[in-house]
Amino acid sequence: MMQTLTVGLGERSYPIHIGSGLLDHAELLKDHLPRQRAAIVSNTTVAPLYLEKLQNTLRSVGISSTPVILPDGEEYKNADTLNLIYDALLANRCERTTPLIALGGGVIGDMTGYAAATYLRGVPFIQIPTTLLAQVDSSVGGKTGINHPLGKNMIGAFYQPQLVLADTDTLNTLPDNELAAGLAEVIKYGLIRDLPFFEWLEQNLGKLLARDTEALQYAIARSCRNKAEVVAADECERDGRESGGRALLNLGHTFGHAIESGMGYGNWLHGEGVAAGTIMAADLSQRLGWIGAQDVARTRNLFERAGLPTVAPDLGTEKYLDLMGLDKKVEGGKLRFVLLKEIGRAVVYGEVPEGLLRQTLQACVPFDQADGTTSHSTKPASGQVAGYQDRHD
Ligand code: NAD
Ligand code: GLY
């Protein structure tokens, strides 16, 4: 069964199709490909799995496609790799009417979208997300871009796709840690604006971890509905009120992006950074007196059950403050955090006393207990401080 939602942006509205086997459904793509040509951007992991299937589907309706295959990894989400896309498009004489199709996770989607926004000053763009994270978040809403050595997603554009096609069958080949990373963004929607969904996740997390098709489709559709509503109301994140608009989607991201770039892109998955970052945001919300210890524990418990880290790496307080100073929500030099008033309601807040922030930064990193264990889930050793690569030096 396929579900279709709409991102309501007037003339630029577009459908999100979610369901099993959609990569075989040429009719879903054909309407968006008026010419007989497309370019497909993918990577060395996803292309061997799904490129041929997609190319065959396109061929069945008379569309030829040029593949552009990039190296795989967050560490390649940069200007050099972006240039490889432009090189291939130019070498193959792709035109203004040649759509770019992103086939992959959020890294491919974000980079392809930015290439589509800028190549020949803008070409049509289609998202075919193949990770849970991309199906519930990054493929929807038009944020595109690349990382800069000094900060995550710092270069980019708002550029909406014409179609999002989420084939849930592609999740069958996704590694467990990548599925968990996607769950971090799913849990986010419950925390920021959808308490009944948070409660549903508490009841049904086991089914999602077991990749139950129906449960996954429900969670993806509910996540996309939440995201579509937020994006339709504040497409370019300009709503500066405390009630927050699109900025609310960044719960856990101010801390999470600092973890990602501080640890060296690719060492912590985006969703892992978001998970540990969300616990930091919950801790800070408690220190402000907004939520109770039981709410923090409930939040931590759901992330832990999803197999996500809830303890942040010890970058050092000053390093965190430095990295967070580069957050896109900073206004007039002031950090603005997405914090929880309660489970199911987040706000954007710019008046956090530095002392409380420092307390959170100290409390949420690993500390050794007398028995030699740490108190909560840490990321496996390979991603711990031992693997720290400081790109700022
Ligand atoms: P990713 O794109 O790196 O994909 C994760 C890994 O899974 C990669 O190794 C990829 O090759 C592999 N993979 C993808 N699909 C697969 C499949 N079906 N089977 C097997 N392996 C598969 O990471 P991600 O978690 O999808 O996305 C993270 C990125 O998304 C970050 O760069 C983040 O900044 C960005 N993001 C953007 C937005 C947005 O609104 N634009 C929102 C959230 C996150
Ligand atoms: N993932 C944050 C946003 O789309 O705004």
CA of 381 to the centre of ligand 1 (A): 22
Domain ranges of the chain: 3-173, 176-374
What pLDDT, on a 0 to 100 scale, did the predictor assign at position 334? 82
From the CA of 106, which ligand is nearest?
Answer: 1
What pLDDT, on a 0 to 100 scale, did the predictor assign at position 371? 66
> In testing the pocket of ligand 1, which one of 110, 127, 135 has its CB within 8 Å of the most ligand atoms?
110
CA of 368 to the centre of ligand 1 (A): 32
Write phi, then psi, for 392 (nearest 5 degrees): -90, -15
Is 270 considered catalytic here?
yes
Taking alpha carbons only, the member of 249, 213, 243 closest to residue 228 is 249
Q: What is the CATH number of domain 3-173?
A: 3.40.50.1970
How is residue 73 annotated by DSSP? Answer: S
Write phi, then psi, for 16 (nearest 5 degrees): -115, 115
Written as six digits, the tokens of 18 are: 């979610």
Element (H, E) at 181: helix 176-193
Q: Which CATH superfamily is domain 176-374 in?
A: Dehydroquinate synthase-like - alpha domain (1.20.1090.10)
What pLDDT, on a 0 to 100 scale, did the predictor assign at position 127? 98
CB count in 10 Å sphere of residue 232 = 16
Write phi, then psi, for 291 (nearest 5 degrees): -125, 165
Is 246 considered catalytic here?
yes
What pLDDT, on a 0 to 100 scale, did the predictor assign at position 152? 85
Q: What's the rounded Cα separation, in Å, for the pair 110 and 159?
A: 10
Q: With 0-12 CB in 10 A as exposed, 13-18 as middle and 19+ as buried, what is 344?
A: middle
From the CA of 113, which ligand is nearest?
Answer: 1
Give 10-residue mean pLDDT values along the chain (393 residues): 96 97 96 92 98 98 97 96 98 96 98 98 98 98 94 93 98 98 98 98 98 97 98 93 91 94 91 97 98 98 98 94 81 88 97 94 81 71 35 24
Q: What's the rounded Cα separation, in Å, for the pair 100 and 103?
A: 10
Q: Please give the C-alpha separations between residue 85 and each of 40, 52, 118, in angstroms, as whole numbers.
A: 10, 19, 11
CA of 133 to the centre of ligand 1 (A): 6
CA of 69 to the centre of ligand 1 (A): 15
What pLDDT, on a 0 to 100 scale, did the predictor assign at position 385? 32
Q: Give the position of tokens 């339709």.
A: 232
What pLDDT, on a 0 to 100 scale, did the predictor assign at position 243? 82
Q: What's the rounded Cα separation, in Å, for the pair 149 and 78?
A: 9
Active-site residue, from 188, 246, 300, 379: 246
How is residue 136 annotated by DSSP? Answer: I
What pLDDT, on a 0 to 100 scale, did the predictor assign at position 366? 87
Q: What's the rounded Cα separation, in Å, for the pair 95 and 81?
A: 20
Is 227 considered catalytic here?
yes
Phi-psi region of 66 (alpha: psi -120 to 50; beta: other; left: phi over 0): beta
What pLDDT, on a 0 to 100 scale, did the predictor assign at position 242? 83
* Residues in the chain, overall count: 393
> Which atom of ligand 1 lies at the shortest distance from residue 152's CA?
34
CB count in 10 Å sphere of residue 372 = 6
> Which atom of ligand 1 lies at the shortest distance from residue 173's CA?
19
Q: Whose CA is nearest to atom 3 of ligand 2?
A: 249
